[in-house]
Amino acid sequence: MDKKEIFNRIEYVVACVGAFAQRFNLSNMQAYAYLRRFTGIDFLLDCYAAEHTLS
């Protein structure tokens, strides 16, 4: 994995965490903690190839 792909994945996860936080009226830290605890972050990383192409 090159630096560009790593950057894209990080940017994608940050955007998803931010959207989740906004949707459920949480801080970004709370949203990240929730997604980490319930494997949402792992899902985003594992399924990046398919997920980042969806709206």
pLDDT score, position 35 = 98
Boundaries of every domain in the chain: 3-51
Cβ–Cβ under 8 Å, residues 17 and 7: no
Exposed/middle/buried for residue 31 (C-beta within 10 Å: 0-12, 13-18, 19+): buried
pLDDT score, position 53 = 78
Helix, coil or strand: residue 6: helix
Cβ–Cβ under 8 Å, residues 41 and 32: yes
pLDDT tens digits, the chain, 55 residues: what are they? 899 999 999 999 999 999 999 999 999 999 999 999 999 999 999 999 887 777 6
pLDDT score, position 15 = 95
pTM (2 d.p.): 0.86
Q: Where are the alpha helices (DSSP H) in the chain?
A: 3-23, 28-37, 40-46, 48-51
